[in-house]
Structure 1
Amino acid sequence: GYAFIRPQLLFAAIGIAAMYAASRVDYHIYHKLAWPMLGVSVVLLVLVLFMPEYNGCKRWIVLPGLGTLQPSEIAKFSVILVFSHIISLNHQKMKKFSVGVVPFAVILGGLAVLMLLEPHLSGTLLIFGIGAILMFVGGTGLRWFGMAAGGGVAAVAAALIFLPDLVPYAADRLNSWLDPFADPLGDGHQTIQSLYAIGSGGATGLGLGNSRQKYLYVPEPQNDFIFSIVCEELGFVGACLVILLFMLLLLRGISIALKAPDKFGALLTVGFTVQVVLQAVLNIAVVTNTIPNTGISLPFFSSGGTSLMMLLGEMGIVLSVSRQAVQEKY
């Protein structure tokens, strides 16, 4: 019963310490760290391709004696830093294609290729979503988003041609989404058991810790499908409270961004807040079979040391922006 909570508590303690430290540091230091962090992310995303497979994917770097490291989590952080850095320095030129589109497309394209090789479709979609929102908030011309949509279609077509392994991978996910009961013991198993868990929770749930579906029925109940267990144990009421928490975080993030001392602080806050909320929306959509299964975790809930520590560190940066906004006000 404590197999997951013990290491998670350790990661939470480290993450809270990182959050406190980040909240006391002037967030402008991340101007200097943006490009180095992106470089580290690229190196790690290349390195992970040489790691052993787990569930048909190469997403984790094994650290002997320490556990595993998920480079995609660091890549999300790096994208937010670099995009915020570029936009804050060039916000008056963001309408131009050479400034408001090209550098971001190059960064996202390079990271997308590396993540699709894992393959990590959900992480790729999330990074594209974060990047697009930061570009929109930063002032990129709206007409360029239409071109980006066309470029995205072309990129998908290119990926299908040059990465043929993605075709059966994506096709299986799509078919199991459209009719999970067509293969209840295969690709549809996870979705079906998730829906059983959600339905059996009723209004108030079975009680904390009383889930039945987590015992060898729902695969990865501590990770990607933890929200279905939340629904089973806490019911409709508890699930709504969890969603409300993410909504409150979004509203608070928007409030801090609007009061931020400068463009860089506002963009960092938007990026980190959007990352959490968008990832939560995608996770909840997956476990309720609203969208195809993409293998994405629920922020702050799912088991995973890298994710938890990075998320808490990012919240520390948001707190730093908030603290400096208050100091300037008074």
Structure 2
Amino acid sequence: MLDFIKNIEGDKAIWAVVALLALFSFLPVYSASSNLVYVVGNGTTGGHLVKHAFLLFLGFGIIYGVHKIPVHFFKGLSLIAMPIVLVLLIFTLAQGTTIDGANASRWIRIPLVGITFQTSNLAAVVLMIYVARYLSKIKDKVVTFQESILPLWIPVFLVIVLVLPANFSTAAIMFSMVLLLCFLGGYPIKYILGIVGVGILSLTLFILTAKAVPDLFPNRVDTWISRIESFANPEDTEADYQIERAKIAIASGGVIGKGAGKSVQKNFLPQSSSDFIYAIIVEEYGLLGGFVLMFFYLLLLFRIVVVANGNHSVFGKLLVLGAGLPIVFQAMINMAVAVELFPVTGQTLPLISSGGTSSWMTCLAIGIVLSASRKYEVQENKNVDVDEANPLEILSGQL
């Protein structure tokens, strides 16, 4: 263990925040898993806790392994991974998996170990690295929109179009993060606004097509619409059951909460150990616990910005922002859903919620951020990459 700790490199604050969040996650996961055991009849609380521990152990193995990779290697890896991701997304969507009559083409099953893998999570990380690579490549050039269509926007839209039918919220987050990264990378704002228009038009066409041919994507558009209607007019729908239970949990938690494991709403709230785990945390640890948890995510955001600003290469800056910002953004969305500031999205709370591939891809992104934060990386690769020619260069004045 001591040898392992000695070999840890990169930003120590990020390591500390990630470790604290992971350690804390055992309490709410163990508590909320009673819903799966006594209500759903799935396994035992101890079994769910062991599974969570195993997934986190593998996740930290991913962080450790990835953070040892020199940051400039991710440029080439993104080129290799992008076609693989597209093939996986096509395969996942083509399965046509249906759960209770609804299209749930989000997962593929790994045969030997029986684990389901959500390919959109991997696609999100790979896409951000790919976009960071392109933006760093054109940093000193005057780029036209036509020149960027094939190398940038075609891959972006292919990934998002393949994710959209089964997972609108993930596709929307990916699209938003790509636009934000393009803005930070100095891509012309007029082109970004044009892409926003194309995105809105494409989404409208998709919805109209899905409405015209209901069997093409069963119930997906109806689910989106019902969630938005439930958010806008909660008194007029029955789809707000989860939100109502979440609000009851938060309200009953008070300032200091009921105490660890004493949540009542975990027995009534669906997805209490994943999508709505923040409500259970506030019920058990109160507003104080909820704000402390939010503080740690904001601290993680602060350290991500510090690492990005301190990196000496444009690719390193953009890579850190592209890999790190979506983690905090997803956490804020999860919390916002629990307090009804945002429609139900199905996004988990990073490093806290139970789940496999979601936590692994979060760990992959954290490993990438830590790789870029290694102090010797700049010196070691100073002559390897043209992006590192000027150590005082700031990312287009945006950071």
Q: CA deviation at 1:98?
A: 2.9
What aligned pairs does 1:156-305 form with structure 2 within 5 A after superposition?
156-164=203-211, 165=214, 166-183=220-237, 186-215=238-267, 217-305=268-356
Gaps of 5+ in 1: none
Give the aligned residue type for 1:146. Answer: L
Q: CA deviation at 1:93?
A: 2.7
Which residue is equivalent to 1:8? 52
Which residue is equivalent to 1:315? 366
Do residues 67 (structure 1) and 118 (structure 2) align? no
Tell me, yes or no, if the aligned pair for 1:223 and 1:302 is still in contact at 8 Å.
yes
Which residue is equivalent to 2:388? none
- Farther off after superposition, 60-69 or 248-257: 60-69
Which residue is equivalent to 2:196? 149
**Greater Rg by CA:** 2
Give the aligned residue type for 1:195. Answer: K
Q: CA deviation at 1:94?
A: 5.9
Which residue is equivalent to 1:42? 86
Q: TM-score, normalized by length of structure 2? A: 0.77
Question: How many equivalent residue pairs?
Answer: 325
Instruction: State the secondary structure of the residue aligned to 1:296.
Output: coil
Q: TM-score, normalized by length of structure 1? A: 0.92
**Per-residue CA shift, 1:237-274, capped at 9, x if unaligned?**
00001111111111100000011121111111001111
Which residue is equivalent to 1:135? 182
Q: CA deviation at 1:182?
A: 2.9
- Farther off after superposition, 150-159 or 162-171: 162-171
Q: CA deviation at 1:52?
A: 2.6
**Per-residue CA shift, 1:210-238, capped at 9, x if unaligned?**
111111x1110111111111111111000
Tell me, yes or no, if the aligned pair for 2:70 and 2:377 is still in contact at 8 Å.
no
Give the aligned residue type for 1:53. Answer: T
Q: CA deviation at 1:100?
A: 4.9
Gaps of 5+ in 2: 1-44, 215-219, 381-399
* Aligned equivalents of 2:246, 2:130: Cα separation in 1: 37
Give the direction of change, closer, same or farther, for the CA distance of 1:94–1:265 in structure 2 (3 Å limit): farther
- Farther off after superposition, 44-53 or 288-297: 44-53
Give the aligned residue type for 1:149. Answer: V
Tell me, yes or no, if the aligned pair for 2:164 and 2:171 is still in contact at 8 Å.
yes
Tell me, yes or no, if the aligned pair for 1:95 and 1:139 is still in contact at 8 Å.
no
* Aligned equivalents of 1:236, 1:213: Cα separation in 2: 16
Match of 1:115 among 159, 163, 182: 163
Tell me, yes or no, if the aligned pair for 1:51 and 1:61 is still in contact at 8 Å.
no
Give the direction of change, closer, same or farther, for the CA distance of 1:108–1:149 in structure 2 (3 Å limit): same
Q: CA deviation at 1:102?
A: 5.6
Instruction: State the secondary structure of the residue aligned to 1:254.
Output: helix
**Per-residue CA shift, 1:45-64, capped at 9, x if unaligned?**
11222053346322111223
Q: CA deviation at 1:325?
A: 5.4
* Aligned equivalents of 2:150, 2:188: Cα separation in 1: 12
- Farther off after superposition, 246-255 or 284-293: 284-293
Tell me, yes or no, if the aligned pair for 1:211 and 1:229 is still in contact at 8 Å.
yes
Match of 1:26 among 56, 70, 78: 70
Tell me, yes or no, if the aligned pair for 1:261 and 1:324 is still in contact at 8 Å.
no
Give the aligned residue type for 2:68. Answer: R
Instruction: State the secondary structure of the residue aligned to 2:271.
Output: coil
**Per-residue CA shift, 1:65-109, capped at 9, x if unaligned?**
331101011011111111111111121236421345664322222
Q: CA deviation at 1:146?
A: 2.1
Give the aligned residue type for 2:175. Answer: F
Q: CA deviation at 1:277?
A: 1.1
**Per-residue CA shift, 1:284-320, capped at 9, x if unaligned?**
1212111211111111111111111221122122112
Give the direction of change, closer, same or farther, for the CA distance of 1:134–1:94 in structure 2 (3 Å limit): farther
Q: CA deviation at 1:163?
A: 2.3
Do residues 89 (structure 1) and 134 (structure 2) align? no
The runs of at least 4 aligned residues of structure 1 exceeding 4 Å deviation read 99-102
Q: CA RMSD in A?
A: 1.9
Give the direction of change, closer, same or farther, for the CA distance of 1:234–1:99 in structure 2 (3 Å limit): farther
* Aligned equivalents of 2:158, 2:136: Cα separation in 1: 22
Instruction: State the secondary structure of the residue aligned to 1:282.
Output: helix
**Per-residue CA shift, 1:18-70, capped at 9, x if unaligned?**
21122222121111110221112111211222053346322111223331101
Give the direction of change, closer, same or farther, for the CA distance of 1:238–1:310 in structure 2 (3 Å limit): same
- Percent identical across equivalent pairs? 28
Give the aligned residue type for 1:273. Answer: G
Tell me, yes or no, if the aligned pair for 2:89 and 2:163 is still in contact at 8 Å.
yes
**Per-residue CA shift, 1:138-188, capped at 9, x if unaligned?**
1111112222232222112111122225442222111111233433xx411
